[in-house]
Structure 1
């Protein structure tokens, strides 16, 4: 980046910083959303909630199905899901 370009784009530096932070947060969220270990931990927590009586069997089954679908999507991969 040249001196002139640097000076002209200096007012945009805070915007670029915010965009960079937003991209890093999105990357971290995507990794957590698609991490099999996180999904398994959520399934274990769901099981504990059912055993403790914090949720009903119906809620458990609905949430378990959602988590298992996400886990299957991670295992299969996005290319396989798009072909369905």
Structure 2
């Protein structure tokens, strides 16, 4: 049984590797998005954009809400 599964599973090994790599990248991105230092930098950038007049107050509120939603892992719905 082991030889047969090895023989038939071998051609799928690259596909399984790519899938696992994608999962690892997704996990790392999610970890970084919830990192308090990264969240603080994003909030500071939004605040600076508002102070300099590049975004409106409503856009600032939406951006802050999106950052906080991302940080907590909740989805819009």
TM-score for the superposition, normalised by structure 1 = 0.69
Q: 1:68 to 1:15 in 2, by over 3 A?
A: closer
Gapped regions of structure 2 (runs ≥ 5): none
The superposition leaves residues 17-54 of structure 1 with CA deviations (integer Å, 9 ceiling, x where unpaired) of 11111111111111022111111110010011111211
Q: 1:26 to 1:70 in 2, by over 3 A?
A: closer
Aligned CA RMSD, in angstroms, stands at 2.2
Q: 1:69 to 1:9 in 2, by over 3 A?
A: closer
CA distance in 2, matches of 1:58, 1:34: 24
Q: Give the number of equivalent residue pairs.
A: 72
TM-score for the superposition, normalised by structure 2 = 0.74
Gapped regions of structure 1 (runs ≥ 5): 75-84
Once the two structures are TM-superposed, the CA of residue 69 in structure 1 deviates from its matched residue by 5.1
Q: 1:33 to 1:54 in 2, by over 3 A?
A: same
Once the two structures are TM-superposed, the CA of residue 7 in structure 1 deviates from its matched residue by 2.4
